[in-house]
Structure 1
Amino acid sequence: MSTKTIAIPPSFILGAAASAWQTEGWEGKKEGQDSWPDLWYKFDRHVWHEGYGPAVATNFYQRYREDVALMKQAGLTHYRTSINWARFLTDYERGVVDETYAAYYDALFDEMQRQGIEPMICLEHYELPGYLLEKYGGWASKKVVELFVLYTEKVFARFHQKVTRWFTFNEPVVVQTRVYLDALRWPYEQNTSTWMQWNHHKNLATAKVVRLFREKGYAGSVGCILNPEVTYPRSSAPHDVLAAERYDLFYNRMFLDPMVKGRYPPELFALLKEHQVAWDYTDDELAVIRDNTVDELGINLYYPHRVKAPSRAWHAQTPFHPAWYYEPFELPGRRMNKSRGWEIFPQIIYDMAMRIKNEYGNIPWFVAESGMGVENEGQFRNAQGTIEDDYRIAFISEHLWQTLRAREAGANCQGFMLWAFTDNVSPMNAFKNRYGLVEIDLLNNRDRRAKKSLAWFRQLSDERQLTLTLDDEIK
């Protein structure tokens, strides 16, 4: 065992992330302003842990000043959240702004500026308006692409002087994968063609928003927050390596390549055709994607994804799923976050950083989410009432270490952001697994209490250096 210290550059982001739907609550929300998560919660509340969901969430809409003060206390330099598309407009077809909701964001950005915290804003973090899902099929429709650009135009016009770091989507692959591939979330429809159409239209929408931003001459940048799963094959055998390559193609390169390189991988077209996955695209749309790549990326990294070659036949009547090419593989002896069921392997950050450096032109990027969700955190409360979350401090330290190590190796990594600042609602798991530096007390009016990790993070931000006890594996 040894101790080593690494410097945190002065300009390096030490921030945290959340989303509108996971924090704000429904206070002030008007009839017809339901987002996709809102409808899911209304129709399927029983699948949300203990019934908690977006209806109240953390009540950030009313308590944002209190939370921004806590952000300052924690030493955050940046805070990423989203604007809820479903709430920002009262008429999605004509782009009529909800002035009350827009005024809330004006006040939030002003308060963040007063406290010296820079906002980073996603335009969609699963908050597709339910109206557009029910009328047009959501992102399956080219009409929705145009309406998203209209919404974005209204947001930019309103806030471009207060926000300069914009992101089209958070994890654009997730909703359609859970709904249309895996049929795990409402409205539970297995349709691979719909899945692919959503993927393409989100890539197209990103390119069109980038084009709009540049045509308007706004200061700042437009990127996207992706969640590529760093994928490792079980072995070096060709069939396992191919399984990992296929997984990477369908879930990671699906967005990385068009957003950064301006084109889909040719082998993706070939495999979709082979499996008769029909999706609608035009040469003009591919040209828009080619000519309007993003300025930067945020990368969400939590755990590795390990796969092996499939050992069973695919059922002939089941629609094509990328799992045709792979099966999950569980590494024996792996470290685990048992609450979440995820492997802990901090090296994923270094490995992804080197991939971006070597395969994606070393585009500017940052760790947009990294964190540890733990169940029943009350068991770690001390006599003074503070949760002593040393496990979270260790998790953040190891992952931040890999980020800084990658930066020293030439990765163009601009920062590290936690998921999350406060405990907040997650899809289905609700408040089951807690991620925050700040505890949300569900039994006492959602009162806020700093955990041990908040003071540690503040010290990290002030001193701008990370000290880590290294074992041989981490070295």
Structure 2
Amino acid sequence: MEGGWNKGGKGPSICDVLTGGAHGVPREITHQVEPGKYYPNHEAIDFHGRYKEDIKLFAEMGFKCFRTSIAWTRIFPLGDEAQPNEEGLKFYDDMFDELLKYNIEPVITLSHFEMPLHLVQQYGGWTNRKVVDFFVRFAEVVFERYKHKVKYWMTFNEINNQRNWRAPLFGYCCSGVVYTEHENPEETMYQVLHHQFVASALAVKAARRINPEMQVGCMLAMVALYPFSCKPEDVMFAQESMRERYVFTDVQLRGYYPTYVLNEWERRGFNIRMEEGDEQILREGTCDYLGFSYYMTNAVKAEGGSGDAISGFEGSVPNPHVKASDWGWQIDPVGLRYALCELYERYQKPLFIVENGFGAYDKVEEDGSINDDYRIDYLRAHVEEMIKAVTYDGRRADGLHPVGLHRLRLLHHRPVQQALRLYLRQQAR
């Protein structure tokens, strides 16, 4: 979203070498910027150049918080420097000041699919333990700089996406690693995860040392799974498939590896290298809350299903009881309530819905407006289910407490911005 990919001393990140894609047109990892190819992240919506007018628009819409990320390469252009880029730090100072001017709370992700490209090319991405130190240095610098401006942080965006290691894009975005290029992709994935878990825990510990009022969360791409039938094999398959995703939050919220993962490593002969003191770091650096994205649910069956390219779940089958978007994402507001209850009962931590939204083939009218009642209906239904999760399923003292809900990609396109401005002008009359 930010754009300004080569401005203000910023270095190239992994998302700067991802080409554009569309429904049925996959994105390409080029490893360097190639002439003639389209890289949408280079300009994006130019938030870097137009953040003041965008934030003013957020305020007019009544936003109370705004989730974005700090581009690692705007602070450390290569990722392994000893000193940060002051121009990059100043940009976020100004942006946070602008948000606070309108009483909008910043919610900041440290790593959102944009690690430094240099760390991938020179160190092998998160396969290398040295990257832990580089990430922690980055986290400490921004924690110290913005300790009085930002309270809510998250370490890694949708860290569990790389569980779909067969799809190069997921692993590359999460960790700079294309797992299929490794001899044992799943073992490599778990090694990468251990490095990221340690880095996350060290970042949490640093935040508490710098400002105990800071809240640092982890972030999960939550696709709740339903067994396709009440056949015991389908029910067990759904549970096992969800456990493959829960390991990402089990470790970050509980502070240790669950037995089911350790048993899998032993059963499959995986050798995950850990250093002395790692277990203590994980115990002491548990996250304060769980942020998650929610777009859809999947149904799965033990036999006869197919892999889902979006979620990465094996055994996926169409759910005949819910509709689907143009992209095949199943529209399931009740699934959000189900997910909220499942996550709170598992962790008893505050929950933050940090992504939710609906993709469609929007028609931009001549006046720049978009008549997207379907999107309004989608959002309304999801908010209603969130309210039910709190009022019916939660408890007053220690119950389910969603911190908030963010609508993702609301301003990813200039026509949408223009439509919003038109709507606000009409409402003001």
TM above 0.5: yes
Structure 1 contact 262–293 (Cα < 8 Å) conserved: yes
Unmatched tracts of structure 1, length 5 or more: 1-21, 315-321, 424-438, 442-446, 460-475
| Alpha-carbon shift at residue 288 of structure 1 (Å) | 1.4
CA distance in 2, matches of 1:353, 1:450: 32
| Alpha-carbon shift at residue 285 of structure 1 (Å) | 1.3
Structure 1 contact 390–453 (Cα < 8 Å) conserved: no
| Alpha-carbon shift at residue 262 of structure 1 (Å) | 1.6
Which of 205, 226, 231 is the equivalent residue of 1:232? 226
Q: 1:124 to 1:209 in 2, by over 3 A?
A: same
**Are positions 1:386 and 2:386 aligned together?**
no
Counterpart of 1:40?
18
| Alpha-carbon shift at residue 46 of structure 1 (Å) | 11
Structure 2 contact 306–314 (Cα < 8 Å) conserved: no
CA distance in 2, matches of 1:248, 1:282: 28
| Alpha-carbon shift at residue 452 of structure 1 (Å) | 9.1
Counterpart of 1:140?
127
Counterpart of 1:7?
none
Q: Secondary structure at the match of 2:48?
A: helix
**Are positions 1:328 and 2:316 aligned together?**
yes
CA distance in 2, matches of 1:287, 1:147: 20
Structure 2 contact 218–249 (Cα < 8 Å) conserved: no
Pairs within 5 Å for 1:98-113: 98-113=85-100
**Are positions 1:167 and 2:161 aligned together?**
no
Which of 353, 362, 374 is the equivalent residue of 2:360? 374
User: Larger relative CO (CA 8 A, sep 6+): 1 or 2?
Assistant: 1
Structure 1 contact 244–326 (Cα < 8 Å) conserved: no
CA distance in 1, matches of 2:267, 2:329: 33
CA distance in 2, matches of 1:278, 1:270: 12
Q: 1:312 to 1:181 in 2, by over 3 A?
A: same
| Alpha-carbon shift at residue 377 of structure 1 (Å) | 2.9
CA distance in 2, matches of 1:259, 1:453: 43
| Alpha-carbon shift at residue 131 of structure 1 (Å) | 0.9
**Are positions 1:273 and 2:259 aligned together?**
no
Structure 2 contact 151–214 (Cα < 8 Å) conserved: yes
Q: Which amino acid aligns with 2:414?
A: I
TM-score normalized by structure 2?
A: 0.85
Counterpart of 2:419?
450
Structure 1 contact 23–59 (Cα < 8 Å) conserved: yes
Structure 2 contact 3–45 (Cα < 8 Å) conserved: yes
Structure 1 contact 299–366 (Cα < 8 Å) conserved: yes
CA distance in 2, matches of 1:156, 1:46: 31
Structure 1 contact 26–55 (Cα < 8 Å) conserved: yes
| Alpha-carbon shift at residue 108 of structure 1 (Å) | 0.6
CA distance in 2, matches of 1:38, 1:313: 32
CA distance in 1, matches of 2:305, 2:297: 23
Counterpart of 2:407?
418
Which has the larger strand fraction? 1
Structure 1 contact 367–415 (Cα < 8 Å) conserved: yes
TM-score normalized by structure 1?
A: 0.77
Which of 165, 176, 181 is the equivalent residue of 2:166? 181
**Are positions 1:158 and 2:145 aligned together?**
yes
Pairs within 5 Å for 1:459-474: none
| Alpha-carbon shift at residue 56 of structure 1 (Å) | 0.8
Counterpart of 2:26?
none
| Alpha-carbon shift at residue 94 of structure 1 (Å) | 3.7
How well do the aligned residues superpose, as a CA RMSD in angstroms?
2.9
Counterpart of 2:103?
116
Which of 374, 394, 405 is the equivalent residue of 2:388? 405
Structure 2 contact 255–282 (Cα < 8 Å) conserved: yes
| Alpha-carbon shift at residue 395 of structure 1 (Å) | 0.4
Which of 231, 235, 251 is the equivalent residue of 1:258? 251
Q: Tell me the number of residue pairs that the alignment of Structure 1 and Structure 2 aligns.
A: 398
1:33-81 per-residue CA deviation (whole Å, 9 max, x = no partner) reads 111111334717999xx93511111111110011011101111110010
Structure 2 contact 204–286 (Cα < 8 Å) conserved: yes
